[in-house]
Structure 1
Amino acid sequence: MPYGHPYKENGGPEPSSRQEPGRNAASAGPGRQGEGWERELDTAVEEIAAAGKEIGATVLGGISQVLDSISSGLARSGEKKEQTFAQWRKAMDRRLQNSEQAGWLVTAVIGWCLAGSFGIAAVVMLVLAAVGAAPLGISESEYLVFPILGAAFSAFTVGFGIMGGIGVSRYRYYGRLRRYLHGARDWVCSVSSLARAALSDTDRVRRELAMAVANGKLPGVCLSDDGNTVYFKEQLYTPQPERPAPEPDETKATEAEPTALERFERDGAEFLRYLRSCCGRLDETADEELVKMEKICAQILGFIHNHPEQLDRVRRFGEYYLPTTRKLLDTALGLGGAEAENAKTIRRDITGILHTLNTAYLKLYDTLLEEVSMDVSSEIDALETMLRQDGLTHDFASDFGVHG
């Protein structure tokens, strides 16, 4: 039978063939249909999740590429952007002020305050010790406390006084280092120019800079082998190769040190060449002043060459005025064609000082000629006196055979 019942074998009643198929269809059909919908729903969810995963991966990959591009661009821009000397100098000045000078100021204040406190206590203890035990109404054992404390407080006073003195000394030292930094205008600077800017002795500036470099207080700073040039960027410093010791014969052949006159003429000639190289790189007004300055300075150099005994009168001209003039021109040339308002102001001020310098240099040249003029006048007077004494000026034309 197509629709059997499990109780048929046991002799149970056999249900009708019409009702059994309907009952089976009603009981089994909905279950199979529910399982189909669940399988289709699970498949749809899995497909949606896979699509979302793929879209998310694509979006995240794109964002990652954009972030990598931005990071690379920032890194490249950071590599290209180089710190200027003014920025480095400001950061170094702040470092010396905050980490070094401020610390020693605190040390000085604490030292002097404690020295004053212990000093007052020591005076009190020593006064009580001088009074004696009887007037104070105490026993001898109690009286011994005063001299002992007086000696101890005196020792503390001396110790903290030394501490305060060291703090003041170091505070002033770092203050001078900051003044040296303020006097620098570029990565490479001469020690003499820093000394002039700080109104200090050149040897002292050289000694204190060398100590700061050796102690690591000015990281990245180097001094030249001769101690005359400061390199505020270590990459710019190129140490001179060591020269072998000269043989005895070579020592004799070594040229003598140049004299003061030779150094003056050498530096002056170099300055004239520098002025010629500056022409055409600034405005027309500056070029006119540069040509005039070259002419006046050449006249001063020629005068000193003919009158070397007058070298002391132009010593400041050669050691200060010419280097300072060159430094100002270097500043103007370093601005290039910048159109910023501050750049225009600096160029205008430097052009204006050129006129002032030319006036001063011309006055110096006139001052040098005054003494020569007096000497010439004296010689002419003496010559005329001799001529009159010899009777050679009675009739000049006939005496010397001059005919009209």
Structure 2
Amino acid sequence: IRRFKKYQKTLGKRTYCDLTKLAQAVGKPVKFVKKDLKKMIGKGWFTEGCFDGSETCLITSRETFCQYQEMEKALEEKKKQEALRAREESELSPEVKEVLEKGRNYLDRLRKSNDAIPGEEISAKIFKMEKIVDQIFQRAKAHPEIIPDLKRMMDYYLPMTVKLLEAYEDMDSQPVQGETIRSSKKEIEDTLDTLNDAFAKLLDSVFQDTAWDVSSDISVLHTLLAQEGLKDSDFKIQH
């Protein structure tokens, strides 16, 4: 009973606790505490008590256990996605891998800046940029032949974007916002619009070959339909 009270005191208002902390509270080895808690759970002392999957944490609430299960599912899905990405990238050339890795780093820095800057308007612009740039890199992953077209974006546009956002973040954190800071922030915000337009055009251009292929296929299809007498115009009733 004394140990049970110490466990409860260590838990406090929390509904989960690492077994090492509980072991320290009662001055016993973790192995002993694990067996001790299992006995108490079996006796119903912790009415909703259970362990996590690796049995390194005590959970005392069904709701918390459900949250833990959801988190585990999310982590498992993330691991699967990472493993799939690793398999896909293992087939890519070192040059392509390097570009994609740099791309992920730039996207991470964009997200960090977005998290650090509270303004809703600029946040929306950064989020739009994240989506466009991510689409470009997804396209590059599927079609490595377009990577040479991304050189200017990789060597200049993205590094400059990150630099501008870091400057904005620094200015935005200042307690006093003078005219110089406000003017510089506005200039950066306007530049983000220009960059988003440029990235959108680049995204459109990397799909140009596909658009040409689609247009060519449609043209051939129309020709074949006309030759077979299956186009709409050939079904019109002659009066």
TM-score, normalised on structure 1?
0.31
Query: 1:294 pairs with 111, 115, 130, which one?
Result: 130
Matched, 1:266 2:101: yes
Change in 2 beyond 3 A, CA 1:394/1:347: closer
For the aligned residues, what is the CA RMSD?
2.7
- Pairwise CA distance, 1:351: 1.5
Identity of aligned residues (%): 31
- Pairwise CA distance, 1:291: 0.8
Query: 2:183 pairs with 327, 332, 345, which one?
Result: 345
Distance in 2 separating the partners of 1:358 and 1:307: 22
Larger Rg computed on CA atoms = 1
Structure 2 matches for 1:5-404, cutoff 5 A? 259-282=94-117, 283-338=119-174, 339=176, 340-385=178-223, 391=228, 394=230
- Pairwise CA distance, 1:362: 0.9
What secondary structure sits across from 1:309 in the alignment? helix
Name the amino acid aligned to 1:287.
S
Partner of 1:177: none
8 Å contact kept, 2:113–2:166: no
- Pairwise CA distance, 1:329: 1.0
What secondary structure sits across from 1:279 in the alignment? helix
Deviations 1:35-86 (A, max 9, x none): xxxxxxxxxxxxxxxxxxxxxxxxxxxxxxxxxxxxxxxxxxxxxxxxxxxx
- Pairwise CA distance, 1:346: 2.0
Distance in 2 separating the partners of 1:287 and 1:320: 22
Which runs of 5 or more residues in structure 2 are unaligned? 1-89, 233-239
8 Å contact kept, 2:122–2:189: yes
8 Å contact kept, 2:225–2:231: no
Between Structure 1 and Structure 2, how many residues are aligned?
139
- Pairwise CA distance, 1:368: 2.3
Higher relative contact order (CA 8 A, sep 6+): 2
Distance in 2 separating the partners of 1:296 and 1:383: 32
Deviations 1:235-284 (A, max 9, x none): xxxxxxxxxxxxxxxxxxxx9x9622212211111222222222243222
Distance in 1 separating the partners of 2:164 and 2:193: 13
- Pairwise CA distance, 1:381: 2.6
Name the amino acid aligned to 2:142.
N
Distance in 2 separating the partners of 1:366 and 1:289: 18
Distance in 2 separating the partners of 1:378 and 1:368: 17
- Pairwise CA distance, 1:395: 9.2
Deviations 1:124-153 (A, max 9, x none): xxxxxxxxxxxxxxxxxxxxxxxxxxxxxx
Distance in 2 separating the partners of 1:264 and 1:317: 11
8 Å contact kept, 2:222–2:231: no
Name the amino acid aligned to 1:306.
A
